Structure 1
Amino acid sequence: MKNRISSLAFLLVFILMLAGCGNNSNNAAESANPESAGSASPEASSSAGTGSSGEGALAAVKQKGSLQIGTEGTYAPFSFHDTSGTLTGFDVDIANEVAKRLGVKAEFVETQWDGMVAGLDAKRFDVIFNEVSINDERKAKYDFSTPYIASRAVLIVRSDNNDIKSFADLKGKKSGQSLTSNLTQIAKDNGAEIVAVDGFNQAVDLLNSKRIDATINDKLSYLDLKTQKPDIALKVVDEEANASQSAAMFRKGESDLVDAVNQALADMQKDGTYLSISKKYFGEDVSK
């Protein structure tokens, strides 16, 4: 009888132990799966509050109070240092005015051209103002503002030259051209004898000394020359119909900043500020 009672007591204790183990298993399952208990994990709570779009580029510029601008500082008349050492130029003046209209300070980051695009990619600055031509290859990777300057290839001769009146008249004539420039091909296509030069200034020197008959060059370079030396005895006798357009360049996807810059440029056109800057460097409106 004693053995029977002991057996019954042992069986009862064993049953109670099994029930306790079952409750512990349920509690463990609930801990491993918090959603079953109707509560979110700390990780889920923190990730739910993070937006995918993040802060806009324009808001970031206004928050820091400055528009950081990539430019060369050695590319006259667009971006260069004057005799006092101050950074100036057409693109610099345009960028300063744009920043002013955005309500922030213009902060220029001077960078060699070869590293400027990489600097934009690395977010060393917000935008490039440096006479950047718009082309399909760049448009595939970057966004541009509306164009703020346009230029054409022009045929330049001495003022007393009446034989060359068009590109076609270059046949058999000496044309001073930089061999790395695509303008050289225009001269070749029209039958010119190419005389290699280091750049525009050397071409002008050779023209003045009558060692060449002509040069095909950028209209903006010619206009700047005439602004600096209005009495120089050179003239433009022909120009290409198609213009190359330049604009501010941005990283892809920063449309709010692009739109704000476009609005500033449009307002500058309307109130005459753009024309004033254009005439300062080129003597005429160079937006078209």
Structure 2
Amino acid sequence: MRHASSSTVVTSFVAAVAAAVVLSGCASAPPAAGAGASHLDTVQKAAVLRICTPGDYRPFSFQKADASFEGIDVDLMTGFSASLGAKPEWVKTTWANLLPDLAAGKCDIAVGGVSVTTDRQKRAFFSAPYMVNGKTPIARCADVAKYQSVAAIDQPSTRVIFNPGGSNERFARTNFKQARLTLHGENVTIFDEILANRADVFVTESAEAITQQKLKPGLCAVNPDKPLQYGEMAWMLPRDDVAFKSYVDQWLHLQQAGGDFQRVMDRWLK
């Protein structure tokens, strides 16, 4: 099987700063920012950027045995925090609690391979998307030919496994009506379930599928350059904080234009 290079996954960088944003109504600021204040101000004043992440999603954010984090978003957050004169403070969460924790003011930003969805956008802002990264199956290499489409996967004999609380669960429940679905609560070990023949297919983002096929011999991403569903990844931000979003977007834009962003991507995806 031909494995796609990182350039086929990282196909698009969207770094656009809002020139003007007009908000109607009187939405209140997130609790951590205080009434009328922006996270742009409070983070600089505190010299700490609180970052929510599940920490179970290579290559974006992964918590190691020593409790430290590594990955694409970890590297980017290190640079972003420094631009505000702040230190990154990691707040471990789960996919099910990622949005509630952000909305409750437990962190200033949420990262770690977050897919942009309209459901999430009802309760939060997103940065400009930094990666196109659609839904891709991963299966045992011997079975790749069997799982080339949603229809081919959605058969009564297929055991589809998924992790809870995010877009992977939503995709599985929406698209697979005949396949046997299994909710697996731990994203780190979900790939071992396929290798052990306790499941057949897991549908996740292309970048994760490509990363895991390198880490788990015997597993192969299925056509990662032709995802089953288009998707974008971005950072999730507190709703209605226009000043903070504008700063985040401009920082991402400058990182992309100056080449630092691509160097981070190359480090983790090549």
Normalised TM-score (structure 1): 0.62
Return the letter of the residue paired with 1:201. Answer: F
**Which of 165-174 and 109-118 deviates more?**
165-174
Q: What corresponds to 1:204 in structure 2?
A: 194
Q: 1:154 to 1:138 in 2, by over 3 A?
A: closer
Matching residue within 236, 252, 257 for 2:244: 257
Q: What corresponds to 2:227 in structure 1?
A: 240
Q: What corresponds to 1:272 in structure 2?
A: 259
8 Å contact kept, 1:81–1:87: yes
Q: Is 1:178 the counterpart of 2:161 in the alignment?
A: yes
Matching residue within 74, 96, 107 for 1:125: 107
Q: 1:152 to 1:275 in 2, by over 3 A?
A: same
Per-residue CA deviations over 1:29-82 (Å, capped at 9, x if unaligned) read xxxxxxxxxxxxxxxxxxxxxxxx844431222222222212233444433322
Q: 1:114 to 1:188 in 2, by over 3 A?
A: closer
8 Å contact kept, 1:176–1:197: no
Q: Is 1:60 the counterpart of 2:42 in the alignment?
A: yes
8 Å contact kept, 1:150–1:244: yes
Q: What corresponds to 1:37 in structure 2?
A: none
8 Å contact kept, 2:53–2:90: yes
8 Å contact kept, 1:128–1:249: yes
Separation (CA, whole Å) in 2 of partners of 1:241 and 1:104 = 39
Per-residue CA deviations over 1:112-136 (Å, capped at 9, x if unaligned) read 4444434333333211123333222
Per-residue deviation, 1:261: 1.0
8 Å contact kept, 2:109–2:235: yes
Return the letter of the residue paired with 1:222. Answer: A
Return the letter of the residue paired with 1:137. Answer: D
Per-residue deviation, 1:259: 1.0
Per-residue CA deviations over 1:87-146 (Å, capped at 9, x if unaligned) read 223322222222223343222222344444343333332111233332223222221111
Q: 1:228 to 1:270 in 2, by over 3 A?
A: farther
Separation (CA, whole Å) in 2 of partners of 1:77 and 1:251 = 24
Q: 1:233 to 1:177 in 2, by over 3 A?
A: closer
Q: 1:266 to 1:155 in 2, by over 3 A?
A: same
- Aligned pairs, how many? 224
8 Å contact kept, 1:170–1:187: no
Superposed counterparts of 1:46-195, under 5 Å: 54-159=36-141, 163-164=145-146, 166-167=148-149, 169-170=152-153, 174-178=157-161, 181-184=169-172, 188=176, 194=180
Structure 2: state its 5+ residue gaps.
Answer: 1-34
Separation (CA, whole Å) in 2 of partners of 1:243 and 1:74 = 22
Which structure carries more relative contact order (alpha carbon 8 Å, separation 6+)?
2
Identity of aligned residues (%): 21
Q: What corresponds to 2:7 in structure 1?
A: none
Q: Which has the higher helix share?
A: 1
Per-residue deviation, 1:260: 1.0
Separation (CA, whole Å) in 1 of partners of 2:179 and 2:211 = 26
Per-residue CA deviations over 1:155-186 (Å, capped at 9, x if unaligned) read 44554558547325558684331267344468
8 Å contact kept, 1:227–1:282: no
Per-residue deviation, 1:85: 3.2
8 Å contact kept, 1:187–1:216: no
Return the letter of the residue paired with 1:204. Answer: I
Structure 1: state its 5+ residue gaps.
Answer: 1-52, 284-288
Q: 1:201 to 1:264 in 2, by over 3 A?
A: same
Q: 1:203 to 1:175 in 2, by over 3 A?
A: farther
Q: 1:235 to 1:257 in 2, by over 3 A?
A: closer
Separation (CA, whole Å) in 1 of partners of 2:121 and 2:144 = 42
Separation (CA, whole Å) in 2 of partners of 1:112 and 1:87 = 15
Larger Rg: 1
Return the letter of the residue paired with 1:268. Answer: Q
